A and B are shown apart, each in its own frame.
Chain A
Amino acid sequence: MRGLALFVVFGVAAAVPGFAQDEDLPVVTEAPSADEAWSAPEPAELWVNGNAAYEAGDFAQAVALYREMREMGVDNGYLHYNLGNAYLRAGELGRAIASYRRSLRLLPRDEDALANLAFARRGARDEIAPPEPPLLLRTLLFWHYSLAPVELLRSVVVVGAAFWIVLAVRLYRRASEVLRWSSVCLLLGVLALGGSLVAHAAFAPTIAVVLPQEIDLHAAAGEGSVVRFRLHAGTEVRVVEERPEWVRIELPDGQRGWSKREYLGIVD
Chain B
Amino acid sequence: MDLENRLSRQGPRRGGMPGHLALAAACTVVALGAAVAESQEREQARVSPESEAIQVTVDRNQVALGSQIYMTVRIDGSPDEPLRLPELPDFRVVSRGQRRDMQMINGRFSNSTSYNYLLIPTRAGTFDVGAATAVIDGVEVKSQPFTIQVAAAENQGDAQDRDLFVTASLSTDQPWRGQQVIYTWRFYSRVPVGQGSIESMDFGNDVVVEDLGEVRQFQATLDGVEYSVNEVRKALFPQRSGELTLPQTQLRVEVQVEQARRPSRRRSIFDDFDDLLGGGGRWATKYLLTDPLTLDVRPLPPVPDGWNGLVGDFDIRAQLSRRELQVGQSATLEVQVGGTGNVQLLSEPGFPELPAFKIYPDQPDANIDRSGRRLTGRKVFRRALVPLVAGPLDIPPIDLVYFDPELGEYATRSTDRIDLDVVPADGEEELMLTESLAPTTGKVAVRILADDILPIRRSAAGIVSASPQGWRLWVWFVFGVLPPVMYLALLTHHRRERRYAADRTLRRRQRALRDALSAAKKVRSGTGPGSAAEASGIVRRYVGDKLGLEGSALTPSEAETALARAGVDGAVAARCRTQLERLEAAQYGLAAVAGGGGLAAETSTEGLSDLIRTIDRQVRGRRP
Residues of chain A having any CB pair with chain B under 8 Å: 18, 21-23, 25-29, 38-40, 43-44, 47, 51, 54-55, 69, 73-79, 81-82, 85-86, 88-89, 106, 112, 115-116, 119-120, 148-150, 153-154, 156-157, 160-161, 163-165, 167-168, 171-172
Contact = CB atoms under 8 A, between A and B. Distances in A.
Contacts of A115: 453-454
B105 interface: no
Given A28-B458, A82-B456, A119-B451, A160 B483 contact: yes
Contact of B459 (A25, A40, A150): A25
18 contacts: A25-B461, A26-B460, A27-B459, A27-B460, A28-B458, A28-B459, A75-B466, A76-B466, A82-B457, A112-B454, A116-B453, A119-B451, A148-B466, A160-B480, A163-B483, A167-B487, A168-B486, A171-B490
A150 B469 CA distance: 11
Nearest to A27: B458
Contact of B476 (A29, A43, A81, A153): A153
A84 to B, nearest CB: 8
A234 B488 CA distance: 53
B463 interface: yes
A264 B451 CA distance: 27
Nearest to A75: B465
A78 B457 CA distance: 6
Q: Which of A18, A76, A116 has the most CB of B within 10 A?
A: A76
A156 B480 contact: yes
Contacts of A79: 462-463
A28 B480 contact: no
A38 B494 CA distance: 48
A75 B469 CA distance: 11
A85 B466 contact: no
Contacts of B476: 153-154, 157
A18 B473 CA distance: 12
Nearest to B483: A164
A120 B454 CA distance: 11
Contacts of A154: 476
Given A119-B451, A161-B483, A26 B465 contact: no
B468 interface: yes
B467 interface: yes
A76 B490 contact: no
Contacts of A47: 462-463
Contacts of A43: 463
A32 to B, nearest CB: 10
A175 to B, nearest CB: 15
A168 B464 contact: no
Nearest to A117: B453
B479 interface: yes
B224 interface: no
Contacts of B457: 78, 81-82, 112
Nearest to B482: A161
Contacts of A81: 456-457
A168 B453 contact: no
Interface string B438-460: 00000000000001111111111
B458 A164 contact: no
A141 to B, nearest CB: 21
Contact of B479 (A38, A54, A157): A157
Given A157-B479, A160-B483, A120 B458 contact: no
A176 to B, nearest CB: 15
B263 interface: no
A22 B461 contact: yes
A40 B490 contact: no
A35 to B, nearest CB: 17
Of the four ranges (under 10, 10 to 19, 20 to 34, 35 or more), the interface on chain B belongs to 20 to 34
Contacts of A153: 468, 476
Contacts of B459: 22-23, 25-28, 78
B354 interface: no
B484 interface: yes
A77 B466 CA distance: 7
B553 interface: no
Contact of A25 (B455, B460, B494): B460
Q: Which of B455, B491, B494 has the most CB of A within 10 A?
A: B455
Contacts of B463: 28, 38, 40, 43-44, 47, 69, 74, 79
Contacts of A116: 453-454
Nearest to B490: A168
A4 B465 CA distance: 30
A160 B483 CA distance: 8
A120 B483 contact: no
Contacts of B461: 21-22, 25, 76, 78
B483 A74 contact: no
A250 to B, nearest CB: 29
Given A25-B461, A164-B487, 10 more contacts: A21-B461, A55-B456, A75-B466, A76-B462, A78-B457, A85-B456, A112-B457, A148-B466, A149-B467, A156-B480
A125 to B, nearest CB: 18
Q: Which of B452, B453, B468, B487 has the most CB of A within 10 A?
A: B453
Nearest to B464: A76
B466 A88 contact: no
Given A23-B459, A27-B458, A28-B463, A161 B479 contact: yes
- The 6 tightest CB contacts between A and B, nearest first, are A164-B483, A22-B461, A78-B462, A76-B466, A157-B480, A78-B457
A161 B431 CA distance: 61
Contacts of B467: 75, 149-150
A139 to B, nearest CB: 26
Nearest to B487: A164
Contacts of A26: 459-460
A44 B461 CA distance: 10
B491 to A, nearest CB: 7
B458 A88 contact: no
A88 B463 CA distance: 21
Nearest to A54: B456
A89 B464 CA distance: 24
Contacts of A29: 458
A75 B466 CA distance: 6
A38 to B, nearest CB: 8
Nearest to A21: B461
Contacts of B480: 156-157, 160-161
Nearest to A162: B483
A42 B456 CA distance: 20
A174 to B, nearest CB: 10
B149 to A, nearest CB: 60
A179 to B, nearest CB: 14
Nearest to B451: A119
Q: Which of B453, B457, B476, B487 has the most CB of A within 10 A?
A: B457
B490 A85 contact: no
Nearest to B494: A171
